[in-house]
């Protein structure tokens, strides 16, 4: 069967559909194609605002081989540029650092301000002559990549073709309108990375379904009872799962603070959503997390996991133990998922596997993502 009819099967209703064919996980040509259509042409997560907290902070990021530079400018806003000098294409910044007010290229010292404007071009017209008729500084700003920051995740649309981020994320922002309030990163112990031998899509697919919970996360016990979970499905945007039985961590009578003015739904409710393509969010009454899936290679994914709290007080030393406990818990949960996403990656080397048969009831969030992939891939 050819590619078109294989993806045709993916787009059928879930009861008749098949999963994405193997080539979407093991074929390098398809991976390159997907990198463009599913990542660079979309709003992909590439980093976190908390890593550039101060004005002048700069963070080089390589995403799918593309050198990017995230900067916090003098107004405190995040901007993302290509990390490349307009002169000879030198990489501008090699390591995270505070740049003060200018980005100086280490090669011939052209200087850009934090909004990307070319401020100085030393000796460009000969020794001691820094201007020249053919050097139009206003045309030589750093090339900027459209970016947005939401829930501390830095999103970029590398191809510059997507609708505004606020439009793309509108339904999720609306769903979680109650959580549109400040979040506070928990610090070093609330930040961890997992290197997983899998295609990034399998991490999305596993995250958005609850079917596996009782089998893969038995330790969550009552929390992972299937009947206490529901699907979250927004065509073309995101999918995931919610729970009705979230229980707050507690130690010696200490609990994390709640986000402000949440409705009753969140007393024991929590939600976990994959915002396509590669960002996974979780929200609870007293903490939240964000995961950026970095596609390192077709079969290598680095999961950047960051935990956030509702008030500054939760960052105090009094809460250190509780924060550690929470981070440990989530690290265990996400680590339990590693063998299944790696196992599915291995399974995709079986030529006889036909994309798989979905559970029409349990797998619809996963199928929604596959359909998103199929539609983008064919575009």
- Which one of another protein, Fe ion, ligand FES, none is in contact with 88 (Cβ closer than 5 to 8 A by kind)? ligand FES
Q: Which is nearer to another protein, 123 or 346 (CB)?
A: 123
- Which one of ligand FES, Fe ion, another protein, none is in contact with 271 (Cβ closer than 5 to 8 A by kind)? none
SS (H, E, C) 310-340: CCHHHHCHHHHHHHHHHHHHHHHHHHHCHHH
* Contact call for residue 132 and ligand FES (CB under 6 A): no
CB 171 within 8 A of CB 238: yes
- Could you tell me which residues are beta bridge partners of residue 66? 63
Q: Which is nearer to ligand FES, 12 or 88 (CB)?
A: 88
* List 8, 108, 137, 173, residue binding ligand FES (CB under 6 A): 108
Q: How far is the CB of 54 from ligand FES (least distance, A)?
A: 25
Look up residue 158 and give its two tokens. 């590398």
Q: Percentage helix, strand, coil, to 5, in the chain? A: 30, 30, 40
CA distance 206 to 233: 15
Q: How far is the CB of 53 from ligand FES (least distance, A)?
A: 27
CA distance 277 to 153: 13
Which 55-94 residues touch ligand FES, going by CB under 6 A? 85, 87-88, 90
CB 52 within 8 A of CB 76: no
Q: Which is nearer to Fe ion, 13 or 218 (CB)?
A: 218
Q: How far is the CB of 257 from ligand FES (least distance, A)?
A: 48
DSSP 344-368: HHHHTT-TT--S-BPPTTT-HHHHH
Centroid of chain to Cα 137: 34
Q: Which is nearer to another protein, 89 or 128 (CB)?
A: 128
* Contact call for residue 110 and ligand FES (CB under 6 A): yes
* List 34, 205, 286, 337, residue binding Fe ion (CB under 5 A): 337
* Contact call for residue 286 and Fe ion (CB under 5 A): no
Radius of gyration of the chain (CA): 23
Q: How far is the CB of 213 from Fe ion (least distance, A)?
A: 6
- CA 322, 324, 327 angle in degrees (round to 5)? 110
Look up residue 91 and give its two tokens. 């990489």
* Contact call for residue 107 and ligand FES (CB under 6 A): yes
Q: How far is the CB of 132 from another protein (least distance, A)?
A: 10
- What residues line the site for another protein (CB under 8 A)? 100-102, 104, 109, 111, 119-120, 122-123, 127-131, 137
- Under DSSP, the state recorded for 40 is I
Q: How far is the CB of 84 from ligand FES (least distance, A)?
A: 9
Look up residue 20 and give its two tokens. 């994405």
* Contact call for residue 143 and ligand FES (CB under 6 A): no
- Under DSSP, the state recorded for 91 is B
Q: Which is nearer to Fe ion, 337 or 363 (CB)?
A: 337
For ligand FES, the binding residues (CB under 6 A) are: 85, 87-88, 90, 105, 107-110
Would you tell me which residues interact with Fe ion (CB under 5 A)? Answer: 337
């Amino acid at each position: 069967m050819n590619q078109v009819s294989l993806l045709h099967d993916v787009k059928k209703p879930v009861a008749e559909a098949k999963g994405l064919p193997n080539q979407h996980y093991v074929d390098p040509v398809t991976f390159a194609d997907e990198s463009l259509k599913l990542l660079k042409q979309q709003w992909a997560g590439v980093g976190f605002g908390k890593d550039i907290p101060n004005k002048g902070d700069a963070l080089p990021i390589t995403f799918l081989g593309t050198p990017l530079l995230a900067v916090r400018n003098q107004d405190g806003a995040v901007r993302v540029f290509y990390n490349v000098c307009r002169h000879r294409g030198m990489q501008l910044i090699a390591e995270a650092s505070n740049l003060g007010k200018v980005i100086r290229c280490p090669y011939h010292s052209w200087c850009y301000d934090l909004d990307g404007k070319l401020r100085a071009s030393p000796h460009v017209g000969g020794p001691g002559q820094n201007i020249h008729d053919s050097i139009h500084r206003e045309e030589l700003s750093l090339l900027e990549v459209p970016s947005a920051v939401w829930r501390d995740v830095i999103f970029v649309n590398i191809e510059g073709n997507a609708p505004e981020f606020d439009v793309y994320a509108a339904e999720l922002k609306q769903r979680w309108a109650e959580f549109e309030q400040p979040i506070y990163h928990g610090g070093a112990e609330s930040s961890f990375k997992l290197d997983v031998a899998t295609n990034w899509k399998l991490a999305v697919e596993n995250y958005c379904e609850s079917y596996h919970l009782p089998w893969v996360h038995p330790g969550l016990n009552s929390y992972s009872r299937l009947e206490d979970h529901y699907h979250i499905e927004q065509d073309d945007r995101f999918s995931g799962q919610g729970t009705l039985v979230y229980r707050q961590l507690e130690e010696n009578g200490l609990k994390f603070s709640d986000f402000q003015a949440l409705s009753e739904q969140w007393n024991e409710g929590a939600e976990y959503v994959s915002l396509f393509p590669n960002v996974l969010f979780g929200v609870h009454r007293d903490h939240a997390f964000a995961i950026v899936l970095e596609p390192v290679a077709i079969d290598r994914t680095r999961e950047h996991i960051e935990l956030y709290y509702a008030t500054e007080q939760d960052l105090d030393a009094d809460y250190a133990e509780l924060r550690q406990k929470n981070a440990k818990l989530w690290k265990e949960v996400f680590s339990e998922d590693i063998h299944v996403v790696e196992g599915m990656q291995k399974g995709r080397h079986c030529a006889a596997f036909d994309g798989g048969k979905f559970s029409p009831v349990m797998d619809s969030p996963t199928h929604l993502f596959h359909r998103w992939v199929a539609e983008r891939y064919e575009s």
